Amino acid sequence: MHTAFEADWTNANLRPGPLAKCRATDGLLGVFIMTKSKLIWALPVLTSVAVVVAFAAQAGGDKVAFPENFATGTLYTTVDRADNKQYRELFVSPASAVEAAKKGDPLPSGTVLTLVQYGAKLGADGNPEKDANGRFIKGNLLAYTVMEKRTGWGTEYPDNVRNGEWEYQAFKADKTPNTAANLTGCFNCHKPLDAKKDFVFSYEKLAGK
């Protein structure tokens, strides 16, 4: 924003694999988005009695704004999704994120990865039509998924959930937040990635590999 950032992003013609389950429940999004996270903390007091405080922490969906200028960034890969008949484009900004990936470094603060999801153009048989290069043809705009990294983000998450300083958000085709999307699966899907890939499935594509 798998985001952004999803497993599908690692190959322009990738077909469903073990991580294909990391999609939103509506089958349109490449990632799951959560708007709130409930954490339970036990706080010691002078009487040595633990006071349990439950609170709802605002998570990434509230921090990530729609990247209006995403198309001025770098289009670094495209994806044909045969399982849900989608064509997808992945953009990144700033350009320094590409340079960092080429060096094998973590992506810089301020990096925004935008996944643009289109329905593939379908033929009379209901299957995606293909262009002269054997790739899906872009149809109607469906949605966006965004991954953004900022210094200091992610501190509200426990270690077994946190994805470094990344946050996620899903947007509808009209660019408004998709409040029905669920973030938990996104964090869970990206969490196992090697730290060298900075929690980004498409890291090697960013590096031009």
The residues of the chain scoring below 50 in pLDDT are 1-4, 6-58
Q: Contact 63/153 with Cβ under 8 angstroms?
A: yes
Average pLDDT over all residues of the chain:
78
Per residue in 133-155, pLDDT tens? 999 999 999 999 999 999 999 99
Note the pLDDT tens digit of each residue in 122-131.
999 999 999 9
Domains of the chain by start residue, with CATH: 7-206 (3.50.70)
Enter the pTM of the model: 0.75
* 8 A C-beta contact, residue 1 and residue 168: yes
User: Residues near 142 by Cβ (< 8 Å), separated by ≥ 6?
Assistant: 28, 86, 117, 118, 119, 173
Over the stretch 83-103, which tens digit does the pLDDT of each residue have?
999 999 999 999 999 999 999
Residue type, 154: G
- Rg of the Cα trace of the chain? 18
- How high is the pLDDT of residue 22? 44
Instruction: Report d(CA 178, CA 173) in Å as an integer.
Output: 9
